[in-house]
């Protein structure tokens, strides 16, 4: 089997005993074998699975997280401002989000923003630590959420 040409139309022409065959890229990725016997498609799937070592989707009762093989860790979540408690030390409302199970290391970078269709509440990150994040807002109203993330 010999490759005759690769056209700009997105397919490859191969000469076989039966004649000429045009292969689309997806078909080609399935047919071409790597030196270890795997197809290109299998190898791409294997590499993609190694891209993230640990990933957890954000759910209603769980924070989302992403850990790369390099050690990069990202934890993110959403917290309703209506569930914040009054905190005189910050002059508004706050909550401490537990992060110990993610085993973050310092230095940490954190960010937070409010999503509220009725205005622009002020959101703050009051403190960061490898085991917790203290976030706050100047209001605790329904339909207002703090989206936050920590890298460490």
What's the chain's average pLDDT?
80
Is the model's pLDDT at 2 over the cut of 60? no
If one counts every other C-beta atom within 10 angstroms of the C-beta of residue 120, the result is 7
Convert the pLDDT of each residue in 134-146 to its tens digit.
999 999 999 999 9
Residue 151 token pair? 């890298």
47 by DSSP, 3-state: which?
Answer: helix
For residue 4, pLDDT over 90 is answered with no
Q: How confident is the model at residue 83 (pLDDT cuts 50, 70, 90)?
A: very high
**Residue 105 · residue 152 · CB < 8 Å:** yes
Which band of pLDDT confidence, cut at 50, 70 and 90, is reported for residue 46?
Answer: confident
The fraction of the chain above a pLDDT of 70, given in percent, is: 64
The model's pLDDT over 88-136, given as tens digits with 9 standing for 90+, comes to: 999 999 999 999 988 998 778 999 999 999 999 999 999 999 999 999 9
Q: Which of 27, 31, 23 is nearest to 7 (CA)?
A: 23
For residues 23 and 35, the answer to whether their CB atoms sit within 8 Å is no
3-class DSSP state of 135: strand
Distance CA 89, CA 106 (A): 25
Main-chain dihedrals φ then ψ at residue 44, nearest 5 degrees: -65, -45
């Amino acid at each position: 089997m010999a490759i005759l040409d690769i056209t700009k139309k997105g397919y490859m022409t191969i000469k076989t005993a039966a004649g000429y065959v045009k292969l689309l890229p997806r078909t080609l990725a399935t047919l071409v074998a790597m030196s270890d016997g795997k197809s290109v498609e299998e190898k791409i799937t294997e590499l993609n699975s190694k891209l993230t070592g640990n990933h957890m989707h954000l759910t209603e009762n769980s924070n989302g997280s992403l850990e790369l093989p390099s050690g990069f860790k990202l934890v993110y979540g959403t917290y309703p401002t209506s569930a914040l408690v009054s905190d005189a030390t910050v002059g508004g409302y706050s909550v401490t989000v537990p992060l110990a199970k993610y085993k973050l290391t310092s230095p940490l970078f954190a960010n937070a923003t409010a999503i509220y269709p009725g205005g622009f509440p002020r959101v703050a990150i009051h403190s960061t630590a490898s085991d917790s994040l203290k976030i706050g807002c100047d209001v605790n109203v329904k339909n207002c959420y703090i989206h936050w993330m920590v890298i460490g």
